[in-house]
């Protein structure tokens, strides 16, 4: 999965980490932190918004996520992602996207 490199310039005062209070989300070879409706990752001394590039459907995802399904929820823009099997799923039409 390719992600966009977009520096989050308003993020200078807060340092994410295990005790910062934001949800840590495993994402490939790094951790993202859910903050203000988007995901941040540390990159070269600054914080980037870590967002997927393009649309990737999660094929064969039979599980239907909902408020009580047992998977952690992360607010992401105008929707909720669900943490499942090391990635985020977002409902999109009649399928789930892999973020």
Confidence tier at 2 by pLDDT (50, 70, 90): very low
- Rounded to an integer, the average pLDDT of 35-46 is 78
pTM above the 0.75 mark?
no
pLDDT digits (tens, 9 = 90+) for 69-78: 888 888 777 8
Cα of 7 vs its chain's centroid, Å: 16
3, pLDDT greater than 60: no
């Amino acid at each position: 999965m390719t992600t966009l490199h977009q520096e989050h310039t308003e993020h200078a005062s807060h340092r994410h980490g295990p005790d910062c209070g934001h949800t840590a989300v495993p994402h490939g070879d790094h951790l993202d932190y859910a903050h203000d409706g988007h995901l941040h990752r540390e990159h070269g001394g600054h914080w980037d918004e870590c967002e997927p590039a393009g649309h990737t459907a999660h094929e064969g995802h039979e599980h239907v996520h909902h408020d009580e399904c047992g998977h952690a929820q992360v607010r992401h823009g105008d929707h909720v992602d669900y943490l499942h099997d090391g990635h985020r799923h977002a409902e999109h039409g009649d399928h789930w996207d892999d973020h």
